Each structure stands twice: as C-alpha cells, then as structure tokens.
Structure 1
C-alpha cells in the first residue's frame, strides 16, 4: 500500500564517517563580486565620455594602420634608394670643374683658382682634431643615430620657434649623413642641358622645404644602410666646400695652412670645422679674425664634449691658427687673375681638369712692390684720398715679375688697373717719337728750336701746342728736349719724321691701342694700358726689339710630366737699330739726372725713364728701367677726376723709386747699356805769349836759357 504525502526514503544509506566525530564540511570558495565602474548619473557627461572613447579608439585604429603604411612606404623608398647608391669610392670628388694651381718662377705654389681638390682623405687619415671638431660642431650624436636624429630635429624646431622663425628656418637639425645627402644632391648629377649654370644646380640642391627634408631623411637612411659611419664621414670631409675655392679637407688644409689634413693641430682643425657653417663668409682669407673667433667657439664645444682637456683647449685658444705665407697673399691677387685671363679658357676659367701653371712671378719682387705701394699711400698721400695706382715690374724680355692693380693689394677678381684700364699716356709716349728720329739718323745732340709753333689741322683749324711751363727754351738738343719734357720740340720732331713712322714704331713696340691720327700723337693723346707701356719700354732696354709681356711659362695637367703648352710671350722682332736704342737709353737717363724725373733717381745705380702727365692731370705716369728690371707706375682716379698737385714727376716717380730700391736690394749695380755721346772737343785756348829772354852777361847762363826756356 502506498503512503501518500510522504517523501520517499533514499535508496542508498547515507555515508557515515568513521570515528567518533565527523569533520565539518569544507566551505565552497566564493569569488568576490566584480566591481562595476561607477557610472555618473549625469547623462551629458556619459555622452561626452563615450564620444571621447570612440574618437580615441578610432584614432588608434587609424593611427597604427597609417603608421604601418608610412613605414612600409618609407622602407620601400629606402630600399630602392639603397639599390641606386654607388660604391663608396665613387663619391669622393664631386667637383664639376677642375682646379688651377699656380707656381712662381721657383716652382713654389702662390695661388689657386677653380675648384681646388687636394686629394682623397678618409675619416681615419685626417687629423683626429679635425675629425673631432667636425663631429662636435655638426653632429655630436653622429655615431648613435640611424641617419636622422629626432632629438636634434626637436631641439632645432624649438630653437627656431623661440627665436620667432618658422620651424624649418634657421637651425635644421640635420645630421652629418643628411648634410652628405644634400652634398650628393640626392644622387642627381649636374647636367649642363638641364641647368642654366652650376650655381643654379647647387642652389636647387640646397633648397629647404618639407618635401626636401623628407627626401633628405630617406636618402640618409639608405646611406646609413649602405655605408659605414666612417665612410659617410669620409664622403663629407671630401665633398664639403670650405671657402677659398677649396673642396674637401685636404684642399682647405693646403689652401690655408700649407700642410696636409693629417697634420692639422687643434686650432687649425677647429678653424676648418668652423667654416662648414658659412664657408665664404668665415674663410680666413676673407677675414682671419672672424675665422679665429669661430674656431674658438668650436674649441669650446670640443672641450665640453670631452674631445679636449681644459689644458689642451687653453693652449689652442692661446695659439690661434695663422695663415700660410701663400694664403696671406690672397691667392696671388692681380697677377694670378691676369695669368688666368690670358691663358686658354678651357684650361683656366672653365677647366674640367686639374691644371698646374708655372709662371714668371718672383714672390720677393711682388712683396717689395706691394710694400712700396702701401708705404707711399700711408706716408705721402693725404688721408681720405680715393686716388688709385698700379705697378708692373718685368724683365727686359717681357717676363712679368710683379703686378699690383690697385691700392688694395690683397684681392681676388678685382678690377686690374695695370691690365684693364686704358688711359692717356701723356709725355710717357715721347720716347717713341725720339726713337723714330734716332732710327732715321738724328742723334741726341741734334738741335731743335723750342719756340711758338702752330699747325693748321684740316677740319679742326689752328692748333698751337704749349709747354707745361708755358715758356720757351730756344735752341735745345733732343736729349734736353726729352729730359725737360718739352712739348713743342716733340711735336716738331714728330712732324719732321712723320706721324705714320712714329705710330708704327710705337705699335711695333707693343702699344696695341688705336693711336691718335693728329699731331697730338706726339704728346700722348692715345690711350694704353700700364702693361703695354711697360712692355714697350722693355723693348728699348733690350736693344730695340719688341716685347710681348707674359706670365705663363708652362701649363700641364696634374700628374703629367709633359707640358701641354709653353710661354706665349717674350722678345720678338727688331723695331729700331740697337745703336738707336742705346742712344735713346742715354737720353732717357738724362730725365732722372737733370730733368722732370729727378725724384726717381736710384742711389748708386744708373736708371732711365720718362714722366707723363695728361691734360688736366687726370693721369700721371712714370715708366723706366735699370739694367735689370723695367717698372711702370700709373696714378689717377677711376672716374677720371683730375689729380690735385700730382704730376708724373711727383708721386708716381716716388712710387717707382720706392719700388725699384726694394726690388734691387742685394743686387750689384750694373751699368745701363747706353751709348753716351762722344765728348765735345774743348775750344782751343791761345797759348800764353812768352817774354823774350833777357840776355845775361854770363855766356853759360845765356846758353842754358836758350836750351831750356829758362826765363
């Protein structure tokens, strides 16, 4: 029977524990309830919070994807750029033009032109001081970054913004690798058909923009992958422009200090490293003091970064770098410019090769000439005067030994008044008038009358020349007329021998300018350069043969033994007879002894020359020679303003005398090769009448008186 309402008994008996007491049942672990974020009851706050969280999730989602895409693109560009990079050795010399090295007559370097490259150097071969100075100045984390320095970029942007500039203006934060990439123009080679000039090509390579910065960075990263750090630094040290036409550390070391880049001391290395910021402005040949100040800043950076001890830095600061003698001469100045302009263009101005030119320059004479110019202007020219002067010194064969084309003797590329200024010659032209007369049979003793004289010139009317002194000397010899620079006798002689003859003699002696057609030809109405006039006088000294002034002796390519060309000047054809030239030298010596050029006399040495002063004293000349050298001096204003109180026998004669005294220091006093006129016979003096002998009473005495004339 069933029992309704009762629970059925379990089929299995309950488990019983053994022992007296049963263990209490283990409590089940209860997990703490998860804390729920307290939610604001403000629905507006909850709304904005949700939007902000959605935006952040969106930005993160977009950001990492965009970053990944950019990384892939940059990686691809870097990988492609890597494949286009040439071998390390091909990147050293990046010049589009070659260099010209000029040697003096002794074979010593005195000037450079073009893009100078001294040879390949490496980061390991240059002086450690130069290497450390470059790193300390340009990129102190060079060995730590991968080609781009984010810390440097951030610092540069901060500095630019703090100074009120744009983020990319001023400091760029570029690493040495990035600067090298820019020097390589990102692999774009110069092509004449694509660029109007090399300068335009370089300017385009140096342009700064956000796009160019990005390109620069990717190229730098590719370089870091392709080359070692020292290889990149080596390219930089060979490619960087360092002022004065010097490309690369070796060229700069030779250019400024006359030594190799491996031998630079701390001060010299710091000076070259300091040029990287502004090479043209900071070049020591442009402003040594400014360059030394910049070097002191670099030394301070080297000391703070641990490249120098305090003692080493103090020594370097106390002994700043000084220029070599060749560098102090400002790259040869006017003489070097003249040689470059007179040589073949494809081997001088536009050479693509490295050329060596041996010249006629004598550095001792050049220094003497420059010192003479400075001495006169510092001591005998009034302060504030803008008058200019030029000097040329040459040998009798036309070899130019020195040249100064203006008061500022240390210049490059300046207007050269010795070769480029065509000025009226005045009475300095008169020796060619008398040369023509002597060659036609006249002599220094020939007589001409200095008196009022007029000519009727077709189309111009009556012309009456006057002497500078406005008086007349009467009967004078040709020697006296030349010594006193009398105008009327010169015109008379010119008209007697013929203007065409005078013009031909002057032209054959080397005066290439158009010579005046009228009678004023004899008074120097024609124009000429100082170089031409000095060369023409050299023809008189050498015995009457023409001379072509020259400065280039030999031109050859660097590394070659055989010259490509030799001298283009020297002694040419005979113009007047040697006897005539010797007699003319004597006449010109009278100019210094008793004529208008007495201020030019050389103590203990024979010399000859001629003064020249043009109308209204716009030009003043003195050209003359010793037995060893010919020198010409011109003085005037560039704008043709008349000189005040200056004639050829004044300051130009003093400049000439000062120059020639210095030039002849230590040389023997050789006599001039002149033909002195035979001495005139003295008038015969009547013999004194003897008194008749007085007879003596002594016969023996009378016999003695008769035999010996005793009285």
Structure 2
C-alpha cells in the first residue's frame, strides 16, 4: 500500500498477544482465598488471655460431651423402665377397685342407708358416663393440661418447685405439680402390692405409696409414661375417679356422691361436682360431714377455676355460686354412729373389720327414734346442765323383744369410734335394781299390797361385820306396802324383802332377765351394788314389759353379701326363756307405774301416755339412772362422770328422768297412746280374799298361805301362832 505522495510506508506486524499487565504494588495485593471445608483457626493469642480462653474451651467441650452422653443414658433408662412398667400393667378394668378390704353398709328398719364402715365403693364408673360437670371439675382443679401432656407436666413441676421455695419449704415438699396421671401412679403404688412382711399394716403401705420427695418423683415418670401408652386419657381418668379417697370412708366419686348427696355421680350438678372435686386436696379436712361451710368455701374456689377455664358459662357460675351444695338429709343427720359401732362389735371380724367382701346389714335402727334421742340429749345438756359440767350420759331405746331402736353413747351425738357409755361403761345400778327384788317376791306369791316393815334392820353376815342399811331420807316409814316401798325407793324395806324371799332367788331372776352375771351374794345386792351397762339394764326392763321373758338385745336382722339375696345369718337376739310369770310382770308394771305417778320418777311422766319406770342413784351420786317404758318402747338413761367422781346435785329422779321425758315425748309424738300391760288392784285383792294371808313375827312381808311361785320357794322362818304376835312382828320389826 502506498501512502500519499507515492512513498511506501513501513511494515508493522499485527499484535498476537495483549500487552502484559503491570505487576501491582504490594499495597494492592488481593487476599488469598480460604480453603474450602475447613475453618480458619483464629489467631493465637499469646499470654494469660490465651491460656484462659483455651481452658474455657476445654471445659465446655468436657461438659457438653458429658451432658449429651448422660442424657442419652437417662433417656435409655426411662425408655427401658417405661417399657417394663408397660408390660406389667393389667387390663384397665382390673384397676378400678383398688381396695384391699371390703366395706360394711348398714340399712335402717326402712332399708335406708344410715352408716358405713370401712372404705365403701359405690360401683364402677367411667369418665364418659359421670356428670360432665364432675369430669370438668376434676380436670380444672387437678390438671388443666391433662388432655395435652404425655403423663408429666414440666411446667407444672417447675411452678410447684417455685411455690415451695417461696413458702420456705424444700423444692419437693408441699406442692408436687403432679398430673392426674402421676396421681394415678401413686394410687396404684407404682404397681407394688401390699406385703405384710414389708409394711406393718395397710395404712403404712398407703402412706409409703403416697410419699413425696425427689426419689418418688423420679419413679413416677416412667410409670406415668407407661400409663399414657397403655390406656387412653379417659381410661386414666376413670381409674382416678374410681380409686381416689374422698373422706368419710368413701372410695371413688360414686361412693362419695352417694354418701354426701344421696345420688349417683352421673347426676351431680356443678356445685356438687365442685364440692367433690375440692375434697381431693384434703379429703378429711374438707369433708362436708366434718365442716359444711369449709367444704362450700373450697367448692367455690373450684367453681371459679371451672369458670376461668371455660367449663362454666357466666350464668352457670353465678347460679352455682349462689346455691352451694348441701348434704342429703341422711348425711346431715349422721344418725346412729354409736349404734353402728356397737353393731360392728357384735359381728365376727371376718365379716366386719377384716372383711374382704362388701357386706350389707339390715338393722333394727329407727332413724326417727334415733334422732329423737339425740335431740333429747342435746336439749337437756343445753338448757339444764351447767356449762362447766363434764358429766356424760347415754340413752338406749328398745322394743319389748330386745330390738334396739336407737342408741346415744355420749353427750356428743355426731361421732364415730367414740367411747360408748351405753355398752362399754360398767357401773353400779343403784335402785334401778330394786324391781328385780319385787319381781322375785311377786313371783313367789306376794302381791303389790303385801306389807313390809320399814324399820331399822341389821343383817348378820358370818365372817364379816354386821350391816345396817339406811334410807335416803334417813328416816323410817313403818309398815308399808310393797308398792309404796318401790314407789319411794325405800332401801331398808327392799333389803328386808330380798332377805325374806332369798337373795339367791333375787340374783337368779335378775340374771335371768339379762342383768350382768356374777352378782355378789351379799345383802347389799338388793340396793344395786352390782355393775351392769345401760344396754343390758334396758334389756332386763324389756323383759318386764314383754310379760316376764328374757331378751337378748340385738340390732342386726340379716347380714348378706352385696349382690346376694340369701342372708348369711339372721338376728342373733330376741325373746328367750320365761323368767317370771306374766301375772307377776303385770303386777310389777303396776307398781312401777306408781313410781312415775306418785314417787321418785315424777319428772319422767309424759302427758297422755302411761309410763312405768324406776329411778336409781348410786353411793355418793356417782351414777344416776332412769329406766322406764310405755306399751311400745323401753328407754334407759344413765348419767355420770368418766372419772367416777360424784355428780353435783344429780339423782335418778332429776336429770336422767328429764332426759327420759324428753326422749319418750319425741319418740311417742304422733303415736296413738296404748295402755300399759299392767294388773289392776282388783285382781290381787280378789286373790287375797281367796287366800287369806298371815303375818310373821319377824317383821317380814306378809304373804299368802298357799303361794303359787314360779321358782323354788325359799325356806321361811317359823310363822307366829297368834295373830297378836304377827301384828307385833309387822309393826315392831326386827330391831337387832
């Protein structure tokens, strides 16, 4: 190619390579790339700081390594324990009734339940068929997250620990934060069964099962997991509803609902459900039979929880709060505690305290009469006994055949397991023994009009000092009839009659009618120095009412196992053999009627009803008695101090007669008045005309020449040969 002007330009070769870049200066040198897959080591620090940092890293690696390894071991142990417990759990239905012993249910004469002994079980219930209010109340109170956790609640445990520490307790003392599942684990004792070689008794076994502490909590965790794996939530809850103890001997919510409200757990309303759920915290303390107001306050707290958690609407909450639950009529009365305790003592242990079956006992108790006796006791002690008095009293109401209709064993009437003064207190009977003396005389042919001399008397006893009885008034009445002697409880005349008819015969009649055995063969036996309890004394008087036959007091009519119709045995008592003639019993009843009309028992009289009875006061007024009867019932009353110190200003014709009056007035209220089965004076007066009597020169009671005794006639002293000497004997008496 030529350039302009014809001159050829110089040749230049084409560039095959780009011009090489200049080498950057050191200040602009790029950073080297990091090797992939490895983190660069931080620059080492020198000195003390570097050493400390290295030590911290080392310790952390050690702790972390130990922690995850330990956690893995714990997890494996928990899994293994859970699987083990899972394999040991039985069928769900086998866990519903957890009692080791049975119960005793007592029914009154109208077949209504009035008492329970042992732990009663109302029957199997299911979480699906109980009242929904009850189910919700239990969940709201005990475990609000029950349907969402897997057996334990870490949040609940942490909250419980915080509360315990705040209250100054140990972390696992007090609140435990247990779920319902954990509580079921406790009720099942973690699958450990009672072993008498390991535990002293069942109470110690149950206390150990329910003990708290860290060790117990750790054991509960795998067991709770196993329960959740084995059973559904409703089944776990059902076990809880059936096994929980709810006070007053009620095991399970069905038994508790029947005990407190008289209805099934399926029919509980919100306020009743709240009261039952509230018992879970402290069954005996919050039991409505112990303190109804306290139980209602606890129920209100449960209602609030139910409302806050959405189980109750505003209206339901306000209605339930305004109408708190109350006890059923039977539970309010709590009648017959002493009667039930006495009955348990009369039944073999294998059918009562040690029974493994549920036993049902039909009894003779009349709850109307029982309440009447309890009200009478309270009325007299409230209105007529000084506030500082420590005196005790007892009442027994009985039919003529020995059937016990009511029993109060102490001034505190609403009790269980207390000392029963009606059956356990053996005390001297005083003048309540005297009717047995006159029963013997009447049965040997004497009449209520037979004469006896109330004059000073000294009885000689071989090997012992002579004994001279005294009258309460410290005077003498002279010749009086047997009726007058009993009517005014004349001591000397009674001893004279007893010695005349033979004290051995008197003892035989008394024991035959049911008085305590082993009476002392002493002249003073006629004045009641022998000891007996109120139940036996009332039974002996029932023998007079029924016409002279002995009775064995009884309270049981039939005993059956629950679910069976055939009784295992029937009443163990009732009317026995005849002891005195019916004629003698009728005449004695007439004499005892005069005691109430004109004698020492006037305060016992009830207007409109014929009442016969006898007062009794022992030496130094240590015991005071009144026992009497209408045509329907016998009522016995005793009063005294537990330490056997004298009563202050109390005799049998005083407070005991008034307790009798108040009791009989209530017992007979509304009942038609019936005449007493007693003889009339015309009957024995006609007999006296048929068999003219003679007197004895020794001052003994007059008697017919041809008596018709029911028992062997005792040997008599030689009668006088002249009427004059006989009269001198009656009016002069034996003045040794």
Contact 2:423 2:533 (8 Å CA) reproduced: yes
1:273 aligns with 2:277: yes
SS, match of residue 356 in structure 1: strand
Aligned residue in 2 for 1:584:
588
1:348 is matched with 352
1:62 aligns with 2:61: no
Is residue 427–residue 611 contact of structure 1 (8 Å, CA) maintained in 2? yes
TM-score (norm 2): 0.87
Q: Is the 8 A contact 1:331 1:412 kept in 2?
A: no
Contact 1:399 1:550 in 2 (8 A): yes
CA distance in 1, matches of 2:299, 2:171: 28
Tell me the CA shift for residue 325 of structure 1. 1.6
The match for 1:171 among 154, 170, 175 is 175
1:129-144 paired onto structure 2 within 5 Å: 129-144=133-148
Q: How many angstroms apart in 2 are the aligned matches of 1:365 and 1:251?
A: 27
* Cα shift readout 1:503-539 (whole Å, capped 9, x = no counterpart): 1100010112431221110000011000000000000
Residue matched to 2:222:
218
* RMSD after superposition: 2.2
Q: Which residue of 2 aligns with 1:376?
A: 380
Instruction: Give secondary structure in 2 for the equivalent of 1:635.
Output: strand
The unaligned stretches of length 5 or more in structure 2 are: 1-12, 687-736
Instruction: Say whether 1:362 aligns with 2:369.
Output: no
Aligned twin of 2:309:
305
Match of 2:715 in 1: none
- 2:601 paired residue among 592, 597, 600: 597
Structure 2 equivalent of residue 437 of structure 1: 441
| Alpha-carbon distance between aligned partners in 2 of 1:366 and 1:14, rounded to the nearest angstrom | 133
2:415 equivalent to 1:402: no
Q: Among 155, 161, 164, which residue is 1:151 paired with?
A: 155
Residues 195-251 of structure 1, C-alpha deviation per residue, up to 9 Å, x if partnerless? 321111111212223222111111001111111111101001101111111100100
Using the alignment, how far apart are the partners of 2:131 and 2:517 within structure 1? 54
2:682 to 668, 678, 681: 678
2:721 corresponding residue in structure 1: none
- Are the aligned partners of 1:111 and 1:326 in contact in 2 as well (CA < 8 Å)? no
Deviations 1:659-696 (Å, cap 9, x if unpaired)?
11111111111111111122869xxxxxxxxxxxxxxx
Alignment match of 2:325 (pick from 301, 304, 321): 321
1:92 aligns with 2:104: no
Residue 488 (structure 1) aligned with residue 492 (structure 2): yes
1:130 is paired with a residue of what secondary structure? helix
Q: CA deviation at 1:330?
A: 2.7
Contact 2:107–2:360 (8 Å) recurs in 1: yes
Whether 1:637 aligns to 2:680 is: no
Q: Hey, what's the Cα distance between the residues in 2 that align with 1:55 and 1:551?
A: 80
Indicate conservation of the 8 Å contact 1:514/1:527, yes or no: no
Deviation at 1:190, TM superposition (A): 1.9
Is contact 2:336-2:370 (8 Å) kept? no
Note the alpha carbon deviations across 1:146-184, whole angstroms, 9 max, x for none.
111111111111111111111110111111101100100
Counterpart CA distance in 2 for 1:42 and 1:600 is 111
Question: Structure 1: which 5+ residue stretches go unaligned?
Answer: 1-11, 682-711
Q: Which residue of 1 aligns with 2:340?
A: 336
Do the aligned partners of 2:137 and 2:273 also contact (CA within 8 Å) in 1? yes
Deviation at 1:383, TM superposition (A): 1.6
Residue 116 (structure 1) aligned to one of 120, 140, 162: 120
Please say if residues 341 and 349 of structure 1, whose CA atoms lie closer than 8 Å, have aligned partners that are also in contact. Answer: no
User: 1:567 pairs with 560, 566, 571, which one?
Assistant: 571
Answer yes or no: is the 8 Å Cα contact 1:454–1:463 preserved in 2.
yes
1:385 maps to which of 361, 384, 389: 389
What is the SS of the residue equivalent to 1:678?
Answer: helix
Distance in 1, Cα, partners of 2:105 & 2:657: 35
Aligned counterparts of 1:219 and 1:614: Cα–Cα separation in 2: 66
Task: Tell me which residue corresponds to 2:293.
Answer: 289
Moved more, 506-515 or 167-176: 506-515
Partner residue, 1:82: 86
- Distance in 2 (CA, whole Å) between partners of 1:193 and 1:358 is 37
**2:335/2:370 contact within 8 Å kept:** no
The question of whether the paired residues in 2 share the 8 Å contact of 1:330 and 1:412 is answered with no
Q: Are 1:620 and 2:624 counterparts?
A: yes
Matched, 1:198 2:195: no
The equivalent residue for 2:235 is 231
Equivalent in the alignment of 2:650: 646
1:450-483 deviations in whole A, cap 9, x for unaligned? 0111112334302111100111000000000000
Structure 2 residue corresponding to 1:558, chosen from 556, 562, 582: 562
1:258 is the counterpart of 2:267: no
Q: Which residue of 2 aligns with 1:687?
A: none
The residue that corresponds to 2:461 in the other structure is: 457
Deviations 1:117-151 (Å, cap 9, x if unpaired)? 00011111111111111111111111111111111
> Residues of 1 paired with 2:40 and 2:486: CA distance?
123
Q: Using the alignment, how far apart are the partners of 2:14 and 2:578 within structure 1?
A: 155
Deviations 1:52-74 (A, max 9, x none): 11111111112111111111111
Does 1:664 pair with 2:677? no
CA distance in 2, matches of 1:418, 1:513: 17
SS in 2 for 1:369: helix
Aligned to 1:707: none
Q: How does 1:541-552 map to 2 (within 5 A)?
A: 541-552=545-556
Q: 1:466 matched to which residue of 2?
A: 470
Aligned residues: 665
